[in-house]
Amino acid sequence: MQTVNIHEAKTHLSRLIEKAARGEPFIIAKAGKPMVKVIPVDQPSDAKVQRIGFMAGQLTVPDDFDRMGRDEIEGLFGA
């Protein structure tokens, strides 16, 4: 994704908006720090993606997880 500084965005705003409307979003930065993301109005929002629990049921945690590597850790840190 393209990042442009505020001065460049002001100078080329029409061109940048046309590119964003065609599906090429861009970020406007101030002093190198990203400030805003410009995306088309009809683009689906990333907020709709559910991340928490996306691997539910696909992983298992061993019953002795909290004791795994205990001997090695004690050896390293002298506990």
CATH number of the domain residue 30 falls in: 3.40.1620.10
pLDDT for residue 10 = 94
Looking at residue 45, what DSSP letter applies?
A: P
Q: According to the model, what pLDDT value does residue 52 have?
A: 82
Q: Which structural domain range is residue 54 located in?
A: 2-40+48-77
- Residue with token string 């990042």: 3
What's at 10, amino acid-wise?
A: K
Whole-number Cα distances in Å, 33 to 10, 12, 20, 56: 17, 19, 20, 35
pLDDT, tens digit, for every residue of 25-51? 999 999 999 999 998 888 666 666 667
Domain count, the chain: 1
Q: State the average pLDDT over residues 40-65.
A: 79
Whether the per-residue pLDDT at 24 is higher than 70: the answer is: yes
